[in-house]
Amino acid sequence: MERASNTEPAIDVHGLRKSFGGRVVVDNFAIRVERGQIFGFLGPNGSGKTTTIRMLCGLLTPDAGEGRCLGFDLRTQAALIKREVGYMTQRFSLYEDLSIQENLDFVARVYAMPDRVRAVDAALERLGLAQRRDQLAGALSGGWKQRLALAACLLHNPQLLLLDEPTAGVDPKARRDFWDQIHTLASEGLTVLASTHYMDEAERCHQLAYIAYGHLLAQGTAQEIVRASGLDTWAVSGPELNGVAERLRAQPGVSTVVPFGATLHVSGPSADALTHAIATERARNDLHWTHIEASLEDVFVKLMDDATDNYA
């Protein structure tokens, strides 16, 4: 079986649509992902991120649309796609009463790997698990379970790694170590699709897509998405910010007011309208105002507020 050439996109799909029980979960979705890219999916719960990922890796058949993944047709060659994909969910699929090494050996048997002892040893070394090989998976912390799950996903040398909120419930250091490993893998040619709710993780992706209630609302680099949003944003600090936020939310020209620690980010689509809307509060001597660039989180809060819930 031939693998996709290095010049062919890892994923190139358009018009994807999927419904469950008469409700459209994904509608007219299209992306193109180059090999070696880390492509991030963002959006609220129930937005269609997981359904999209499952269509891309051959686990679900689209109701409409077409395209190719890893050089294979999304509709007619789903079985071949699945053989080339590693899929890691937020609920790690581990046997807790087996050791780290036994878990990896089991996965190697599932893939019928011809030299599974060598493959397991290599995975243990690469993910820093060798010294813990005999430890039961059930006794591992969240970060170590995450590392084991990643080792299991990579054992069969996939071309595409799908990460469905893989760092949920993992401490910040483990999350950083995990993403360092993902960037190393991408630099070696592995393509990664990752869904996440963390903005710091989103900013580590080469490209992003924001999906809300089945629709693709924004796509590009983090910087491109922020620029394309056209949001004008001010940061304000001082006393009684809850009252300030309540008054500003009632002003025309203000689209979002979001607390960030001891400050508020106040955003709107028109710089002139926003300047007028905050004029009264800016005149107060006890508040400090700074004109800032909108953050990725500012943009996504605005996109979420504007999206129409397809359950409604």
Homologous superfamily (CATH) of 231-293 is ACT domain (3.30.70.260)
**CA gap 202, 209 in Å, rounded:** 10
Q: For domain 11-221, which architecture applies?
A: 3-Layer(aba) Sandwich (3.40)
The predicted structure's pLDDT at residue 81 = 93
What pLDDT is attached to residue 3?
A: 47
Residue 306's pLDDT is: 78
Range from 5-9, 35-39, 119-123, 212-216 carrying the lowest mean pLDDT? 5-9
What are the structure tokens assigned to 144, written together?
């170590």
What pLDDT, on the 0 to 100 scale, is given for residue 74? 92
Band of residue 106 on the pLDDT scale cut at 50, 70, 90: very high
Domain ranges of the chain: 11-221, 231-293
Query: Where residue 227 falls among pLDDT bands split at 50, 70, 90?
Result: very high
CATH topology agreement for domains 11-221 and 231-293 = no
What's the chain's average pLDDT? Answer: 89
Of 181, 223, 100, 14, the residue nearest 194 (C-alpha): 181
Say what the pTM is: 0.86
Give the other-Cβ count within 10 Å of 200's Cβ: 13
Average pLDDT over residues 237-246: 95
CB-based burial, 237-273: b 16+ in 10 Å, e otherwise: bbeebeebbeebeebebbbbbbeeeebbbbbbeeeeb
2 pLDDT more than 50:
no
CA distances from 102 to 106, 111, 121, 246 (A): 6, 14, 11, 56
For residue 292, the model assigns a pLDDT of 95
How far CA 203 is from CA of 9, 37, 105, 206, in Å, comes to: 22, 13, 35, 8
pLDDT band at 308 (very low <50, low <70, confident <90, very high): low
Categorize the per-residue pLDDT at 183 as very low, low, confident or very high, splitting at 50, 70 and 90: very high
* 3 state SS of 28: strand
Q: Are strands 207-212 and 215-220 parallel, antiparallel or unpaired?
A: antiparallel
Q: Which residue has the higher pLDDT, 300 or 312?
A: 300
pLDDT band with cut points at 50, 70 and 90 for residue 309 = low
What's the 3-state SS for 117-146?
A: HHHHHHHHHHCCCHHHCCCEHHHCCHHHHH
Residue pair 34/82 in contact (Cβ under 8 Å)? The answer is no
